[in-house]
């Protein structure tokens, strides 16, 4: 007679569970402390230069205490050294773009009022040169180096950080002059600008007249005109963006009109082929006051840090976020996030609940 063993399914379950537990879990890397900058900074810029060093410029220690100083981070020595250079004026909330010839373009920001000029840093001389007048004052604008070497500058605060303007202009390094181009559809400040594979620029979100916007548009350098795309699924500003390896763009975090009470975990992806946005999984944490650009990692995933104590990784293949067990220990708002040539990511400064900037540095190791 054949006997039925009712315990067999339970045994199979135990075996499967044990095998699952023994499988190696994915490793998403970690954030470790990396020393201290020479000055505490938030709202600064940190740009990877062609020689592999990072130039850190400006920012503020606390409200009203702005910086004109600059310093280097050297990944080979894992140390910070002072630059002999100082900007012509103290700036916070300025924007930086690396020019084709290796010089660094710094534009706008708050200077006590709203900045009316840009400056150029030359690594060959370790000096900031010129104060180049813009067509309009702007703070927390975007600056995008186009394929032809010109720089597109869009939006920015015109009175306060909730009053974004429509005006855009082009800086030409050959002539060292700005030229106004057509206005955007919406006023924007604390928005994002992403250079796409087809050489156009995606402009997304921001704050207009005291209202965050969900609108997006694309700038075409061939015509110097903007065309409407999208809109996004979520109104947002002070968010972050990063183009993925396949040409799509991840937009994540930020806040709505309510700022601290309206912080967002929502994320979405822009598809240039469809000129539309699709929601993706939410982040593990609500975050705002982020770097304009998140960090693209060597494997195609994206690191998002700042605005929360722990960092997280976006996996574009699965459309999901994975929270790390490490980060900046406390939330850091307006820290910088810079991908190094070795694939690590340098995280610098920002301010936390004390409302005073830190000089701390961290490295994300994939």
The pLDDT tens digits of the residues spanning 44-53 come to 999 999 999 9
Q: Which helix (H) or strand (E) element contains residue 8?
A: helix 8-22
Please say whether the beta carbons of 272 and 286 come within 8 A.
no
| pLDDT exceeds cutoff 60 at 4 | no
Domains in the chain, CATH or no CATH each: 27-365 (2.120.10.80)
User: Cα-flanking dihedrals φ and ψ of residue 4, to 5°?
Assistant: -95, 125
Q: How many residues does the chain have?
A: 366
Q: How far apart are CA 218 and CA 187, in angstroms?
A: 14
pTM of the model: 0.92
Per-residue pLDDT tens digits for 101-113: 999 999 999 999 9
Per-residue pLDDT tens digits for 282-316: 999 999 999 999 999 999 999 999 999 999 999 99
Pick from 104, 85, 218: nearest CA to 151: 104
Pick from 61, 81, 62, 63: nearest CA to 71: 81
| pLDDT exceeds cutoff 90 at 13 | no
Q: How far apart are CA 57 and CA 70, in angstroms?
A: 4
- Total H helices, total E strands in the chain: 1, 29
**Reduced to 3 states, what is the DSSP secondary structure of residue 159?**
coil
* 354 C-beta neighbours (distance < 10 Å), count: 9
Q: By CB neighbour count within 10 A (0-12 exposed, 13-18 middle, 19+ buried), where does 168 fall?
A: buried
∠ Cα 305 85 78 (to 5°)? 45
**Reduced to 3 states, what is the DSSP secondary structure of residue 167?**
coil
Per-residue pLDDT tens digits for 27-60: 689 999 999 999 999 999 999 999 999 999 999 9
∠ Cα 280 285 289 (to 5°)? 95
The stretches of 174-294 forming alpha helices (DSSP H) are none
* 185 C-beta neighbours (distance < 10 Å), count: 16
Sign of the C-alpha dihedral computed for residues 134, 115, 142 and 167 taken in this order: negative
């Amino acid at each position: 007679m054949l006997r039925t063993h009712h315990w067999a399914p339970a045994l199979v379950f135990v075996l499967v569970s044990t095998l699952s537990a023994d499988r190696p879990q994915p490793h998403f890397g970690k954030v470790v402390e990396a020393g201290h900058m020479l000055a505490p900074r938030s709202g600064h810029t940190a740009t990877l230069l062609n020689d592999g060093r990072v130039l850190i410029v400006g920012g503020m220690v606390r409200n009203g205490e702005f910086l004109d100083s600059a310093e280097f981070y050297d990944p080979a020595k894992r140390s910070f050294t002072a630059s002999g250079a100082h900007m012509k004026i103290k700036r916070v909330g300025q924007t930086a773009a690396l020019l084709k010839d290796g010089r660094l373009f710094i534009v706008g920001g708050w200077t006590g009022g709203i900045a009316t000029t840009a400056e150029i840093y030359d690594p060959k001389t370790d000096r900031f040169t010129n104060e180049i007048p813009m067509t309009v004052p702007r703070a927390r604008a975007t600056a995008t180096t186009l394929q032809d070497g010109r720089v597109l500058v869009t939006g920015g605060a015109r009175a306060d950080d909730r009053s974004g303007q429509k005006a855009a202009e082009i800086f030409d390094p050959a002539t060292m002059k700005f030229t106004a181009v057509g206005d955007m559809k919406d006023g924007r400040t604390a928005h994002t600008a992403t250079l796409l594979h087809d050489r156009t620029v995606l402009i997304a979100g921001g704050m207009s007249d005291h209202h965050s916007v969900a609108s997006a548009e694309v700038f075409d350098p061939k015509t110097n005109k903007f065309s409407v795309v999208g809109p996004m699924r979520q109104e947002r500003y002070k968010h972050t963006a990063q183009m993925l390896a396949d040409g799509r763009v991840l937009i994540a975090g930020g806040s709505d009109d309510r700022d601290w009470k309206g912080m967002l975990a929502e994320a979405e992806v822009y598809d240039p082929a469809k000129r539309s946005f699709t929601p993706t999984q939410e982040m593990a944490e609500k975050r705002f006051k982020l770097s304009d650009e998140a960090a693209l990692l060597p494997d195609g995933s994206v690191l998002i840090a700042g605005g929360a104590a722990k960092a997280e990784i976006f996996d574009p293949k699965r459309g999901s976020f994975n929270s790390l067990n490490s980060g900046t220990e406390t939330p850091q708002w307006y820290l910088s996030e810079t991908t190094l040539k070795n694939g690590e990511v340098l995280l610098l400064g920002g301010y936390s609940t004390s409302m005073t900037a830190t000089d701390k540095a961290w490295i994300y190791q994939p």
